[in-house]
Structure formats: C-alpha cells, structure tokens
Amino acid sequence: MRTFLLLALVVLGALLLPAGCNKPPNQSVEMSTDSDPQYTRDQPMSTDIQPVDEGAGEDSYDAPGVPPLSQAAQGRAYVVQKGDTYWKIAATQLGNGHRWKEIEALNPNVNMNALKVGQTIRIPAK
C-alpha cells in the first residue's frame, strides 16, 4: 500500500510540475544598457591592436618582458657515443635516467630512436 501511495505522489508531482513551469513571470525584467559601450561596424572595439610582423621568424621573436633563455636553460652540448640512448645519457650525465624527458625537450628535432654516433645534442645542466 505504501508503494502505491508513493508512486501515486510521484506521478501526480510529475504531471503538475511542467504545468507550473509554463506560467509567465509576474514581473518583467528590463536590463539597462546605458553603461554598456556601443560599437558600430565602422568603429573598432579597441585601438590597442598592433600589426604582426610576418617577416619575423620564430627564432627572432623576443617576447616583451621575457628574458632570453640563459645558458643553463639551453643546456650543454653532448656528443653521442656508441650505444647511447636518452635514458643512458640521462643516467650517466645527469645522475638519473628518468630525466631523459628533459633531454627530449631540449632536442625537439632529434629522433631519439635514431641517435647517430658523433651527433651533437643538448643536455640540461646538472
């Protein structure tokens, strides 16, 4: 009997709820746009926009307020030896093989699976 009453209340509530949601609000709300700036198609939104120098290459870009990479951040040169892998280089040169990802980050154009003897790569400073 309890289950039947509970089910009847749920069904009744489901039938009455949508009917109450369709009623219009008692008061209308008006939004003021007096403080909002008005723009037209002929007027740009901002005059701070500077043109991009498309002739500048990626290497010549200097972000304002960002210092250039220090010598330590650029790492140091390392010549690949026979049997070297990023893991082995990180273990022997940096003291931890898990630091191989730092070597990978300093050498984005080097295929770590095809290191060649005599090839020079960058490794982080200790």
Q: Can you point out the beta strands (E) in the chain?
A: 76-79, 120-123
Residue 101's domain comprises 71-123
The answer to whether residue 6 is domain-embedded is no
56-90 pLDDT tens trace: 544 444 445 544 555 556 789 999 999 999 999 99
Whether residue 55 is contained in a domain is answered as no
Q: What is the total count of domains within the chain?
A: 1
- Distances from the Cα of 7 to the Cαs of 10, 11, 13, 16, 18, in angstroms? 5, 6, 10, 14, 18
39: in domain: no
List strand residue ranges (DSSP E) for 38-112, in order. 76-79
Within a domain: 91: yes
What is the pLDDT at residue 58?
47
Q: State the CATH number of the domain containing residue 103.
A: 3.10.350.10
Residues 6 or more apart from 94 whose CB is under 8 A from it? 102, 123, 124, 126
pLDDT digits (tens, 9 = 90+) for 11-44: 777 666 655 555 566 666 666 555 555 656 665 5
* Single pTM value for the model: 0.44
- Domain contains 11: no
DSSP strands (E only) in 13-85: 76-79
Q: Is residue 27 part of a domain?
A: no
Q: Would residue 14 count as lying in a domain?
A: no
Answer yes or no: is 85 within a domain.
yes
**How much is the pLDDT for 66?**
46
Better-scored residue on pLDDT, 3 or 91 = 91
Q: Which residues contact 83 (CB under 8 A, 6 or more apart)?
A: none
